[in-house]
Structure 1
């Protein structure tokens, strides 16, 4: 898996109506983000460009954190949309080794599919997980991603919502997981960072970010 990934931070100017509208609708925000990449990527453009994003609450307001395998054309943002900056993740990813400790963060749609004999809903219905069940879901995902968790802090976020062009509503429960971990399989970790984790990747879930832990 290529380590050529880009991480972009967009700080929307809330005086701009388009920015405010995008922050309130994950479908609109998905479209805005995809407009920063070339046409012609095909029906799976988001996956081909490894585009993932999440909203981050900062002391001064909300920012958008976005990952991609193609450097975004930030000049395509409306002039008054806000500030944006982009950098390569290659130095970080190329430096990953087994045994390295990292800080991690992911906003994920932790879910499970109900079984045939369930009494909790419809068979095969996908239901969100909360609390200890969500934490256990993340532990399994982290293990598959080549991480052994050393600490875990989770909190439930507001549900991500939006409306598609067919007028159907999109809703994704979101849980933020933060903590420290030890890398056990650098290749598996890079693969999962590239692909994202869980459902709702087009709508603000699944972006795993890491940083060196001293």
Structure 2
């Protein structure tokens, strides 16, 4: 190894992932149906990424505004993967998470909260099953910030703001209604060990990743 190589900061090797940002056509009938039904939009994501290699990180998506859809996958979502006229503009860029120590800006659509467990084994019922109750969702900025600060090893939360929250619903094939709370969050992190972030950020942060939560975007903080 040369002296020049020794002076190059170590970086984190990441699999190639692509962020596709779609500006949706509000007059398209499929757009109208899917932006008003969470489960229909989830099906659209599945259709748009079918056939892509599935050995890497899971597909994540977010809809920060009704007319914008972001999809992170191992390949770009092109117009050929969508109904004709579905989007008025399509943009692609690499998706990366922090690969160097320092200060980083994160934006993401998340659902701060935790799962509540009910039941479980007792002395008289050692085989009693533990069930999932209704999740506890954090609604105040302080609790959301505290929740986020615990999510990432290798980084310290410097500042956090919840920009907006919304509730979306969809009709599931089992005839039940899916209800998801989404919170758009902006945060500044001091990244100390980027290697510890990779698996978490690839998997997605928090709850309801299937339903448009968990995707985060990272840029160097100025």
TM range (shorter): 0.7 to 0.9
Match of 1:87 in 2: 93
Aligned length: 197
| Structure having the higher Rg | 2
- Classify the secondary structure of the residue corresponding to 2:34: helix
| C-alpha distance in 2 between matches for 1:129 and 1:6 | 31
The within-5 A match list for 1:93-172 is 93=97, 96-98=99-101, 100-114=102-116, 124-125=132-133, 126-131=135-140, 132-141=142-151, 143-144=152-153, 146-172=154-180
Contact persistence 2:167–2:179 (CA under 8 A):
yes
Query: How do 1:39-78 and structure 2 match up within 5 A?
Result: 39=51, 50-57=58-65, 62-78=67-83
The answer as to whether partners of 2:108 and 2:184 remain within 8 angstroms in 1 is yes
Q: Secondary structure at the match of 1:96?
A: coil
- Of 101-110 and 1-10, more deviation after overlay is shown by 1-10
Deviation of the 1:112 alpha carbon: 2.1
Change (3 A) 1:17 1:116: closer
Distance 1:39-1:5 versus aligned 2 partners, 3 A rule? closer
What is the CA–CA distance in structure 2 between the aligned matches of 1:63 and 1:38, rounded to whole Å?
A: 21
Question: Equivalent residue for 2:219?
Answer: 211
TM-score, normalised by the number of residues in structure 1: 0.81
Counterparts in 2 of 1:170-209, with a 5 A limit?
Answer: 170-209=178-217
What TM-score do you get using the length of structure 2 for normalisation? 0.78
> Do 1:130 and 1:156's aligned partners in 2 also have CA atoms closer than 8 Å?
no
Unpaired runs of at least 5, structure 1: 118-122
In 2, the alpha carbon distance for the partners of 1:188 and 1:20 equals 40
5+ residue gaps, structure 2, are 1-12, 120-130
TM-superposed deviation, 1:134: 2.1
Instruction: Kindly indicate which of the two structures has a greater share of residues assigned to helix.
Output: 1
CA distance change for structure 1 residues 29 and 148 in 2, over 3 Å: closer, same or farther?
same
RMSD between aligned residues: 2.5
